[in-house]
Structure 1
Amino acid sequence: MKTRIVSVFLFLLIGFGVCAQEEVYELRTYELGFFGPAEVLHNYFEQALIPALNRQGIDNVGAFEESVETMPKKIYLLIGYDNIQSFQDSKDALAKDEKYLQDADSYLNAPEASIPFKRISTSLIRSTTGFPKLVKPNDDANLFELRIYDSYNEDALRRKVKMFNDSEFVIFDEVGLPMVFFGHNIAGNQMPCLTYLLAFKDMNAHGEAWSKFLAHPEWVRILKLEEYANTINEITRVFLKPLPYSQL
């Protein structure tokens, strides 16, 4: 079964053209139950999972919660892999890591009533040639903006990714929209779409940068191009703050 899943992912990668430098990101969302304590989950991330991933050479694991109180509450985990094979190898390595199994025992063997989340949803995101590597933000980054752009079909998504690769990354850099990661989703429940994460010092810096972006002459120009018409039909935006043990 595992082999079949990896084969499907590899097929999706080939469909967009394989480049050796492109990474794969796993974005997990843990939806918590109402009023349940989440310490067992936080302890698992901080004391077992993230250290085990670091031992595998997987650095800069991000852990976030939404910046405003929402119901149900959610925890987001971002893990970057060198490629799709590294994603699969990491799961196998955890199962063989005796220190991880020992450190994670209180979570892995917890009774059902102690598990704080109702469900986990996962998206796999492949980086693009225009932004191939995750970039760790500045240490003063306290506000993160997760953005998901839905497209009505695969060609619309291809054109939107091209728009970023050809023009938008340069504009983002010029106006102070610091990208952490960017990619198009290859698996998940919100497809076809692309996903990216921005990092800011605070909401003032966020507002100033987006105002500059909207007024940038290159953005005004490309927005009118027929090639990029009707590439997005919905945008999801979530503001996040890093948890104390986040490495981003």
Structure 2
Amino acid sequence: MFIQIRKRPVLLLCVALLWSAVCFQAVAAPKREFYQLKIYHLKDQAQEDRLDAFLKNAYLPALHRAGVPKVGVFKPAEAAATNAATAPEKLVYVFIPYASVEQIFKVETEVTKDQSFASAGKDYLEAAHNQPVYQRMEVVLMEAFAGKPLFTAPKLKAPAAERIYELRSYEAATEKLHENKIAMFNNGEMEIFQRLGFNPVFYAQVKAGGKMPNLMYMTSFDSKAERDARWKAFGDDPAWKKMSAAPEYANNFLRADIYLLHPTSYSEI
């Protein structure tokens, strides 16, 4: 009986130490961020100019006041056709990182109550039905991968007009195959990108969007030439060749869409 009484405090101490270790790991591990990607579809330069003015002078400052530290704004890098009738659709991509999904709703509520935002963004917010600032807008909601829970603003050296941000979208045939592709990233593919100097901005699973099941990620480069060289090195990398040939990762994506973008002069990422 005496021995049992003495063992109990020791057992409780061991449990307490184990629980403390678990709690420490939970605290130490960064919480995975959530991202909004807003894609504006525009018909002409007039809409693009109005949208730029809204984003630069009203929306980004309002997001900052509501607690969002950095926002990325990007446009397609491909040169537009000179003939207006055959010119590609104008697009603007706005990448907004949030600490949590709850923060998204909190920030959106605060922005709507921001009087400075209402004043600076009046042309956009009160646009007439026959003079809209955009043709349509898409919103994609994403959660960061466990292997890269926080986004990174790359430290590129080239002028903004020369930088290339590559946004990729990977759709899968089934949810199971989609999860398998995410596991591939978390189990080594992201490490290859990092080692080869791809300057990753984010990797994330799409939680809501027009293409599902889907994941998206963004890498960045000082130039198109550097981007091409990095991808050649990636294709030749022994670790990638081994991983891509592994049977457990076979057929884990159905379609890949690639978008080469330049940051705007007022982009913060």
Structure 2 counterpart of 1:5: none
Amino acid at match of 1:239: L
Alignment root-mean-square deviation, CA: 1.5
Cα deviation, 1:137-178, whole Å, max 9, x if unaligned, reads 114251111100111111111111111101011111111111
Determine if contact 1:65/1:76 at 8 Å carries over to the other structure.
yes
- 1:115 is the counterpart of 2:132: yes
1:146 to 152, 163, 167: 167
In our comparison, the structure showing a higher alpha carbon Rg is: 2
Q: Any idea what SS the aligned residue of 1:110 has?
A: coil
Looking at structure 1, the residues matched to 196 and 50 of structure 2 have their Cα atoms a distance apart, in angstroms, of: 41
Matches within 5 A, 1:1-248: 21-34=31-44, 36-68=46-78, 69=80, 71-140=88-157, 142-248=163-269
**Percentage of identical aligned residues:** 28
Structure 2 counterpart of 1:4: none
More deviation, 229-238/136-145: 136-145
Looking at structure 2, the residues matched to 180 and 102 of structure 1 have their Cα atoms a distance apart, in angstroms, of: 32
Cα deviation, 1:80-136, whole Å, max 9, x if unaligned, reads 111111111111111111221122122211223432311001111110110111100
Looking at structure 1, the residues matched to 182 and 140 of structure 2 have their Cα atoms a distance apart, in angstroms, of: 17
Looking at structure 2, the residues matched to 154 and 120 of structure 1 have their Cα atoms a distance apart, in angstroms, of: 26
Cα deviation, 1:210-229, whole Å, max 9, x if unaligned, reads 11111111111111212111
Q: Any idea what SS the aligned residue of 1:179 has?
A: coil
Determine if contact 2:76/2:91 at 8 Å carries over to the other structure.
yes
Determine if contact 1:66/1:239 at 8 Å carries over to the other structure.
yes
Looking at structure 1, the residues matched to 127 and 168 of structure 2 have their Cα atoms a distance apart, in angstroms, of: 34
Query: What stretches of structure 2 of length at least 5 have no aligned partner?
Result: 1-28, 81-86
Structure 2 counterpart of 1:11: none
Looking at structure 2, the residues matched to 120 and 192 of structure 1 have their Cα atoms a distance apart, in angstroms, of: 20
Looking at structure 2, the residues matched to 139 and 170 of structure 1 have their Cα atoms a distance apart, in angstroms, of: 20
Amino acid at match of 1:41: L
Amino acid at match of 2:157: D
Relative to the length of structure 1, the TM-score reads: 0.89
Determine if contact 2:67/2:107 at 8 Å carries over to the other structure.
no
Q: Any idea what SS the aligned residue of 1:204 has?
A: helix
| Distance change (3 Å), C-alpha of 1:201 and 1:152 | same
How far 1:35 moved relative to its partner? 5.4
How far 1:36 moved relative to its partner? 4.0
Determine if contact 1:175/1:212 at 8 Å carries over to the other structure.
yes
Relative to the length of structure 2, the TM-score reads: 0.82
Amino acid at match of 2:142: I
Determine if contact 2:192/2:239 at 8 Å carries over to the other structure.
yes
